[in-house]
Structure 1
Amino acid sequence: MAKSMFYRYLLDNMSTAVLRLDNQLNLEYLNPAAEMLLQVSGKRFMGAHISALFRDTAEAMVVLEESARSGHPFTQREAHLTLHHGQQITVDYSVTPLADEEHALILELQARDRLLRITREEEMYAKQETTRELVRGMAHEIKNPLGGIRGAAQLLERALPEESLKEYTQVIIEEADRLRNLVDRMLGPRIMPHFDYVNIHQIIERVCSLITAETGGTIEFIRDYDPSIPELEADEEQLIQAVLNIVRNAMQALTESGTDEPCITLRTRSVRQFTMGAERHRLVCSLSIIDNGPGIPTHMLENIFYPMISGRASGTGLGLSIAHSILHQHQGLIKCESQPGQTQFTLFIPLEQEHGQRD
């Protein structure tokens, strides 16, 4: 095998995206890894200027031009690039001038999105586990004296000489019950999910009918379903609860803000080879819940899945925490993106559960 062909063979089989540019920054070569990362066809873009592959590339163009002029290599960590069709990616990239060829460059790109997402998910899971342990400890310390207070109030009620005085002991008993229920809700679902094959669209329709009954049909639902999604393995009641909590949050945000033409979009898609945590799933169901409300304040986005965190004065801060716990039991994931006029929660649920997760 000729040396040039051997080098070409090596580049074609690398997992790192590699591009070769001439002294005018026109594309001379890109390997299959680069085609996959940049979502382009090498034949279509061969000979095109590198800027044709990206949008908003002024800063990167300065780096490439300076490296070509000076002959000095350059490395950038966690750079945010926008592909030609609008998708944003995060990469580490290195620019290396070729010593034996005038001003030609090798551009190497390492995708960082997956690694950064895994890191964020691991941090979130660790924080959630710490929070759950804290809540469990608090629940134990709160429920024990609550039981004593309630029992004492019941004994006191029997010994009261006047019936009218029982009103006060009833207040004690009812408040003790309310606090116990609140603690139970903070703990989230305490039973393991019972997996069976369910249709995600039937679950969504059930939630829509419940919210429509609550609001009297004042909120419009836009359905954007992928009918090809197969049935997934899940606990139907728990999944209904998780979706209902998120849709109800959207409904309450729309109602309380007085949004004109309130609307909730429900979109399903299938996603292939999707990584959640450290595990890659062959096929995942994606459910997006999008509302046109006022949005979530930026400073709250990192904490909205923790118990008792709410952006509404009347909110308990438990709905999203419970939904997150349910998705975690299903080996799934919830993501949130928000800006004024659009908030999107996306639920990712594996279509096949590990058998070790079953009861």
Structure 2
Amino acid sequence: MYSSNNQMPKNKLYYQQNLPNQMVTAVIVLNSELTVQYANPAAEALLIKSINKLKGSTLNTIFFNNPISDKRLKQLLTSGQEFSDSDVILEFFDRRKITVEITASSVVFDKNPHILLEFKQIDQQKQISAEAFQQQQWESARDLIRGLAHEIKNPLGGLRGAAQLLNRELNEEQQEYTQMIIEQADRLTNLVDRLLGPNQVPKMATQNIHIVLEKVAQLVSFNNPQQSEIIKDYDPSLPDICFDEDKIHQAILNIINNAIQVIGSDGQIILKTRAASNKTINGKKIKLAAQISIIDNGPGIPEKLQDTLFYPMVSGRANGTGLGLSISQTLVNQHQGKLSCVSQPGHTEFIILLPITQEAAS
């Protein structure tokens, strides 16, 4: 950080050797007219613009939403009082958005007042914190549901057994009522079993993920009343990965079935695979992962549901059970993977990340 007493040699005001070129934090220097005089390499990378394009620009021409008003910057030049803002969303003219912390301070170069702006991008930290919180909430909700499911299942067995015994003592007309009790007990038992989720340990084998996607696509084509278009966008260079075929098959099928039920007759589903590097999965850094994306052009997921989308019994459909995505989350977690979703009207993308071992990548 520069203090207001710092002076720079004349004719070297914005020379690279006198400014923090090696800083990871993006730094921009404004003159008293609030135009850019310098941006370090980190700022060039953040703004996706070179110093030649940035020099002479104002913040209004760089950002779609000016993060700091000119009035506030003028006050900083007058008072010299440093200030900081956190969780500031910067929006660019190409609609790209990032979240940053901004620190603004007054500095003097060659006896002239300037403003030093530091931008620290915090999207990744916020995402990791949000994912960790959501994971914790999901696990708590799942454990609660499982506990309730066990409590429900035990008396259901007794209820069904009693109805069976009573059924033997009744005539055919009266047996209609006990049979209804048995059928409803079986229906609730089936629901409870689904709430308890998959319990079997995955049978891991190294194989090609595209084989599973092809099987899912073929199965969906046989049960696709909307005749939604299935588009395949595979990366053939993706190495084999270690997973349980049946479990990943079920996880992907649940997601696609959900999509088919909400998109219209002109709906489109894209199955996309790519290699993804340096990803964070449940707080652990993964060098290389297989990324499977299931993308649809439907109406999108309501914003109020997006944070709890993978919780049991949460559904955006009137006739939905809210179990499909929760089960998919459990199945992917059993593979030390990650299931996430980004959604807006016209574009909903479910992303499955599965770690690629060094042996498979070599």
Aligned mates of 1:323, 1:78 — CA distance in 2: 32
- Contact 2:227–2:265 (Cα < 8 Å) also in 1: no
Percent pairwise identity: 41
1:322 aligns with 2:345: no
Query: Do 1:71 and 1:103's aligned partners in 2 also have CA atoms closer than 8 Å?
Result: no
Taking structure 1 as the reference length, what is the TM-score of the superposition?
Answer: 0.84
TM-score by length of 2: 0.83
Matched, 1:118 2:128: yes
SS, match of residue 278 in structure 2? strand
Q: Give the secondary-structure state (helix, strand or coil) at the position aligned to 1:78.
A: strand
Q: State how far apart, in whole Å, the 2-side matches of 1:237 and 1:337 are.
A: 25
Distance 1:161 1:278, change over 3 A: closer
Q: What's the counterpart of residue 276 of structure 2?
A: 271
- Verify the 8 A CA contact 1:98 1:105 in the aligned structure 2: yes
Alpha-carbon separation, structure 1, partners of 2:192 and 2:335: 23
C-alpha change, 1:90 and 1:73, in structure 2 (3 Å) is: same
Q: Which runs of 5+ in 1 are unaligned?
A: 355-359
Letter of the structure 2 residue corresponding to residue 106 of structure 1? L
What number of residue pairs does the alignment pair up?
345
Give the deviation of 1:40 after TM superposition.
Answer: 4.5
Query: What's 2:145 paired with?
Result: 135
Cα distance in 2 for partners of 1:64, 1:215 equals: 58
Q: After the TM superposition, which residues 242-261 of structure 1 pair with which residues of structure 2 at under 5 Å, given as runs?
A: 242-254=251-263, 259-261=264-266
Partner of 2:234: 225
The aligned runs of 1:79-94 (5 Å cut-off) are 79-83=88-92, 86-94=95-103
Structure 2: how far apart are the matches of 1:318 and 1:31? 50
Structure 2 Cα separation of the partners of residues 145 and 249 of structure 1: 32
- Gaps spanning 5+ residues in structure 2: where? 1-7
Matched, 1:346 2:343: no
Tell me how far 1:276 sits from its aligned partner: 2.8
Alpha-carbon separation, structure 2, partners of 1:59 and 1:83: 11
Instruction: Give, in whole Å, the separation in 2 of the partners of 1:185 and 1:86.
Output: 42
Q: Report the equivalent of 2:63.
A: 55
Look up the match of 1:335: 340
Q: Which residue of 2 aligns with 1:103?
A: 113
What is aligned with 1:305? 310
For 1:226-278, what per-residue CA distance to the aligned partner results, in whole angstroms no more than 9, with x for missing partners? 33322222222111111111110010112xxxx25121122323222122332
Residue 240 (structure 1) aligned with residue 245 (structure 2): no
Q: How many angstroms apart in 2 are the aligned matches of 1:81 and 1:50?
A: 14
Secondary structure of the structure 2 residue equivalent to 1:89: strand
Aligned AA (1:334): L
Residue of structure 2 equivalent to 1:174: 183
CA contact (8 A) 1:95 1:106 kept: yes
CA–CA distance in structure 2, aligned partners of residues 353 and 184 of structure 1: 37
**1:308 Cα offset (Å):** 1.0
- Report the Cα distance in structure 1 between the residues aligned to 2:358 and 2:188, rounded to whole angstroms: 35
Give, in angstroms, the shift of residue 162 of structure 1. 3.3
Residue identity in the other structure for 1:310: S
Q: Distance in 1 between matches of 2:233 and 2:61?
A: 30
Q: 1:210 matched to which residue of 2?
A: 219
